[in-house]
Structure 1
């Protein structure tokens, strides 16, 4: 178990990639502090995490873009688990383009490396989600799948496995990296990368 004894805050954990990351972390032994905006969805994710082996899951429902909520999230996590080892800010960066996020990742990694903090990001390809279904037509979703050399969409848990690796000691020498996990889409369609 690559994350046994580690405490992870995962934002946006009530659905999609955030939920997949939470389940992957649960399977690897992490203690979880999950947050999202939808209580019912978050409760379902907690059930999935418990099935995966994590019996102690803290949840906070709220808006991560609000300062007061972020303080509450950190305080309740530290109170319950005594520390925070890993932060997965799945939400709160909606308006940032992939290019801006890549630059921000490298900048933040450079600023924090002297404190022993590693910063990496993942640029996933198409991952089906409820939100995606609401904003993209079926034709657009299928065209993304068709354009992906692997021939399918990623699953949230597949993205979660990559995040587990980056958060684990196995990636102790990795910082400032922006991992593409897009099924080969960016190598064949540079305009979409």
Structure 2
């Protein structure tokens, strides 16, 4: 795969799957526009990316729940590069709680980041992606179709994101724009620390998940990054509207 002269915009690029995806694309010679809320982390990831092929990424600190930041992100990317070829909607938040122990604040926070921000950013990027006949990859989750009682708002947001993927893929297919999602199972990222879990709690969670995974291992962020790059590449030129599991077989249970 080669992304020479291709511009790739990645949200949530300061850590986790987004950071791994940024580094993966940098090794494939992509021109990167990276955004996240944590400026220091974002700059560190940008340095890693620059070392790969000597191409300095554009970094934009933004909160995607703020409309003005979303507009700024698209504006600065186009002003800097003059085009957009790939949009990776990766930014997301996770909260715990089922219908008995949740509240509307949790629901609104998750849906605002995981679905509304994706809708808004994609809408603004569509004219530029249509011009380049580009590609959109949404980072979803296997919980979009595999029920649990622990993360209700998150589960709902990812189910919505999958259907968004299919509907937008259908709408943009005549314009030559492909839209797909990747649906990982558990990936050990900073999102768990952000929720307040201790290292011991995270390790116990990892052991529990591995024991229930057919391949008996966790999914690595780089595994997901590789699938994202594949879906964005010409190798996947006939794939659109797909929700591709990256889960070690977890969806089979």
Q: TM-score, normalised by structure 2?
A: 0.70
Q: C-alpha root-mean-square deviation of aligned residues, in Å? A: 1.5
Taking a change above 3 Å as real, the CA distance of residues 145 and 134 of structure 1, as seen in their structure-2 partners, is farther
Gaps in structure 2 of 5+ consecutive residues? 92-112, 116-153
d(CA) in 2 for partners of 1:83, 1:90? 20
Q: 1:13-40 CA deviation, whole Å, 9 max, x = no partner? A: 0000000110111111110000000011
Shift in Å at residue 185 of structure 1?
0.7
Q: Please, which of 162, 166, 177 is the counterpart of residue 102 of structure 1?
A: 162
Answer whether contact 1:23 1:157 (CA < 8 A) is retained: no
SS in 2 for 1:120: strand
Answer whether contact 1:2 1:169 (CA < 8 A) is retained: no
Shift in Å at residue 6 of structure 1?
0.7
d(CA) in 2 for partners of 1:54, 1:143? 41
d(CA) in 1 for partners of 2:27, 2:114? 26
Q: TM-score, normalised by structure 1?
A: 0.91
SS in 1 for 2:87: strand
| Number of residue-to-residue matches in the alignment | 188
2:4 counterpart residue number:
4
Q: Please, which of 207, 221, 233 is the counterpart of residue 168 of structure 1?
A: 233
d(CA) in 1 for partners of 2:84, 2:65? 19
Q: Please, which of 122, 146, 155 is the counterpart of residue 220 of structure 2?
A: 155
Q: Which has the higher contact order (CA 8 A, sep 6+)?
A: 1
Larger Rg: 2
